[in-house]
Amino acid sequence: MTRKTTTIRFVLLTTLASLSTLAAAQTDVEKAPAQKSGAQESFDKLKALAGSWAGQLTTFPPVPAVDGKFAQFSLRVTSMGNALVHELSVSGRPDHPVTMFYLDSDRLILTHYCDAGNRPRMAGKASADGKTLEFDFLDVSGGNQHGHMHHAVFTFIDPDHHTEDWTYMGPGDQPVRAHFDLQKTSAGSATASN
């Protein structure tokens, strides 16, 4: 073999070996499960709450019309897993507010369809230990003359117990916090997974 032929052969073998190594590395990357974003992990944790929940409402400062009342919640995964519907009813109250949770790119967003006639949006962020999920106010549409829901915190205790704290900002920026200590009900054992 000539020196030129040996050099060409060496270059070809080296190139083929490099391509083979690159292909194997690419295959390993393709096989590795995609890393979930923090927003996706938080959304998955919220979706695990799907079911029926009940507990007592406590308000700070006390609001006599609702303080100490019994509350029922229904959480349902819908839209092929892309949304979570959160519905609330408080005994003796005709309102039935609905909140939708969904991912918006890399953010977990909630839109609250309020009995005050507006729709505030909030963005969620999990605590470092993953035990709480806190939603901060982004904006509100539909008017603000009666106030708006401004803040929400979900605290995960165990699969059958969680708390929710919702802060309503009344006219003149007067906050009222509603604390719900919730237990999963027997109706909550059957959950939808659309």
What does the pLDDT profile of the chain (194 residues) look like in tens digits?
666 655 556 555 555 555 555 455 555 545 566 788 899 999 999 999 999 999 999 999 999 999 999 999 999 999 999 999 999 999 998 888 999 999 999 999 999 999 999 999 999 999 999 999 999 999 999 989 999 999 999 999 999 999 999 999 998 889 999 999 999 998 644 444 44
SS3 labels along 66-115: CCCCEEEEEEEEEHHHCEEEEEEEECCCCCCCEEEEEEECCEEEEEEECC
Nearest to 144 by CA among 161, 162, 169: 169
CA distance linking residue 35 with residue 44, whole number of Å: 13
Nearest to 51 by CA among 187, 188, 158: 188
How much is the pLDDT for 8? Answer: 56
How much is the pLDDT for 4? Answer: 60
How much is the pLDDT for 186? Answer: 82
How much is the pLDDT for 64? Answer: 94
CA distance linking residue 150 with residue 142, whole number of Å: 14
Model pLDDT for residues 78-121, shown as the tens digit of each residue = 999 999 999 999 999 888 899 999 999 999 999 999 999 999 99
How much is the pLDDT for 193? Answer: 44
Q: Which helix (H) or strand (E) holds 62?
A: none
Answer whether CATH 2.40.128.20 is correct for domain 38-186.
yes
Predicted TM-score of the model (pTM): 0.79
The residue ranges of every structural domain in the chain are 1-32, 38-186
